[in-house]
Amino acid sequence: MTLDFGTDLRAALGERLKRFERQSLDGDGLKRAAVAVTVVPHDAGAAFLLTRRAPKLNAHGGQWALPGGRLDKGEDAMEAALRELREEVALDLGPAHVLGMLDDYPTRSGYLITPVVMWAEDKSAMHPNEAEVASIHEIALGELMRPDSPVFLTIPESERPVIRLLIGDDHVHAPTAAVLYQFAEVGLRGKATRVAGLEQPVFAWR
């Protein structure tokens, strides 16, 4: 499925996110973080940005990730997501580029992640911050509409299903997979699907 980048898609995403009653969690005992789900133009239509974390990073090096990180003192989730997007991939966006936010997602490693959905028409300045990002990937939005994805797995360590989202010939796990799955459900399908109950694989619990 190809989704064209343009005013119709931006309006549809904005309207669906506006109608969505996101769940905000208190995050007691968790560190607050934000990630950016960024829609950009692409040769095959609209795409979203996904990065490979630099392999030398202490936490989850080399893994797929959305641009993001911990909130600085005094920041809210939108401010943090915009800052992290600028620091990691050199996209300098402002509040007018924010389409909405998704549910808070608590991670096993002690974070409460707030996803912020953004629209970026101009990506000409984009490049990876080599200290944090090994590479930037533009993934067609149609990948989020594949009939064979997501896959839900069972593990002996948890009663919750582990989500695996298929991307090209690879896959991503939660929290990134949970965030992108909810983005697809809410923004692309117009469904109020919750994802806080979706599990991460055990290797991501650290």
Residue 125: which residues within 8 A CB-CB, separation 6 or more? 90, 91, 92
For residue range 134-155, what is the model confidence (pLDDT) as tens digits?
A: 999 999 999 999 999 999 999 9
pLDDT grade, residue 30 (50/70/90)? very high
Amino acid identity of residue 96, one-letter, is: A
- Average pLDDT for the chain: 93
CATH number at residue 65: 3.90.79.10
pLDDT grade, residue 27 (50/70/90)? confident
pLDDT exceeds cutoff 90 at 105: yes
pLDDT of residue 56: 65
Query: Is residue 26 situated within a structural domain?
Result: yes
Structural domain span for residue 80: 7-205
pLDDT exceeds cutoff 90 at 172: yes
**The total number of structural domains that make up the chain:** 1
Query: Is residue 1 situated within a structural domain?
Result: no
Query: Is residue 44 situated within a structural domain?
Result: yes
Residue 148: which residues within 8 A CB-CB, separation 6 or more? 166
C-alpha torsion angle, residues 190, 110, 32, 61 (rounded to 10) = -80
Burial of 59 (0-12, 13-18, 19+ CB in 10 A): exposed
Query: Is residue 78 situated within a structural domain?
Result: yes
Query: Is residue 2 situated within a structural domain?
Result: no
Query: Is residue 48 situated within a structural domain?
Result: yes
For residue range 39-80, what is the model confidence (pLDDT) as tens digits?
A: 999 987 999 999 998 766 555 556 899 999 999 999 999 999
Average pLDDT over residues 121-125: 95
pLDDT of residue 1: 66
Average pLDDT over residues 174-199: 97
